[in-house]
Structure formats: structure tokens, C-alpha cells
Amino acid sequence: MRYTYDPADLQELLSRVGSSDDDAHYHALSVLQEHAEQTRGPLIALLKESPSEFQRSRCVTALTGMDHPEVEKALLHALQHDSSSIVRDVAVTGLRGIEDKETVPIFIDALSDRSEIVRRWCADILGRLGDERAVPRLKEALQHKDEWLAFRAAESLRQWNVPEARTTLEHLRDEALESSVRTCAKQALWEWDHGKVK
């Protein structure tokens, strides 16, 4: 049944986003996204103005399903400027499908974010965007103590056949503390050797 949206319901719906009750969470998300023309502006305003990091993270979650330039702009702003790592984490996952290469400098800068989630996703996004401006910073990330970041940077650099990326993948395959990183590095090297570029 289609839900008739009432602007007075915005706060109540938003409070259900991220609820441990999956039905309540998905219902609230579907209503907010189904009525994006009415909810997008207020959600963006709340994302910018709310003092609550939890409310801002819920706004980002709701906005992520809306395909609109203003949403992308708001998520990029949150990634760059929000003081909460929770909000930045949610924002970067909402930007995974971005295609605009003009955003590359933003993701390069975010490789220095305090949040490991942000750093890892930025390495992935930069690899997918395939812009060579990212190569120097991704090379730096190969040496990072965060094994998953080093792996994702190597995976992103693989498309340019960067020798340092192969060295890092071989090291992670043999020496990584996490078995999942070793497994992924082994798979990446197999794909590299068999011409399967990411």
C-alpha cells in the first residue's frame, strides 16, 4: 500500500532509520525515498544543521537512495566537513557509485581521514574512477599499517600495472595478519597474472 507522506512525519520516520526493528527501518527508508521530491530538501538541511551525529547519519542513510545532484553534493560535503566519523563513514559508503571525476581530489584528501572505513572506501572509489591523479597517494597508502587499506590501494593501482602494487600484494599474501587479507591478495595476484584487470 502506498504511504501518503505528511511533512509532519519527517522526524518520526527519521527516528526509525537505523532501528533494530528491520521492518520499521526499511518502511521508514522506503517512505522517505519514495517521496524524495518532498523529503530531499529537509533531509539535506538537517544533515547540515543538526547537532546530533546520529540524526545526521540517519539523514545520510535516507539520502543515499536518492539519485540527485544535490544529494551527491550534500554527501560530498558531509565527507569533507562533518566532525563525526560515523557520519563520514555513512557518507562515503553512499558515494560508492559516484562517476564524476571532478570529485577525485576530494577522495584523495579523504585518504588521510581518521576513519579507517573512509580511507578504505576512498581507495576503492579512486580505483574505480581510474584517474591517474590518485596514483601518488595510493602508492603512499601501500605502506599503511591498515592491511585492508594497503590491499585496497594495491587493488586500485593494479589497473595501471604499478610495480609497487604487486610488491604490496605479494607481501600481504605472505605476511598479512588477517587471513582474509591474505586470501584477497592471493586472488588479486591470480587475476593480475591472468590479465583480469579490476
User: Which CATH number belongs to the domain containing residue 82 in this structure?
Assistant: 1.25.10
Same structural domain for residues 80 and 113?
A: no
Q: Which of 47, 64, 95 is the last residue of a domain?
A: 95
The residue-averaged pLDDT of 92-114 equals: 97
Q: What is the dihedral of CA 26, 98, 156, 120, to 10 degrees?
A: -50
Mean pLDDT taken over the chain: 94
Domain end position, chosen among 95, 114, 138: 95
The answer on 111 and 71 residing in a single domain is no
Judgement on whether residues 2 and 91 belong to the same structural domain of the protein = yes
| Residues 10 and 84 both lie in one domain | yes
Q: Which residues constitute the domain of residue 174?
A: 104-198
Q: From 95, 123, 149, give the residue that closes a domain.
A: 95
pLDDT at 127: 94
pTM score of the predicted model: 0.88
* Count of structural domains within the chain: 2
pLDDT of 147-179, one tens digit each? 999 999 999 998 888 899 999 999 999 999 999
57 and 112 inside one domain: no
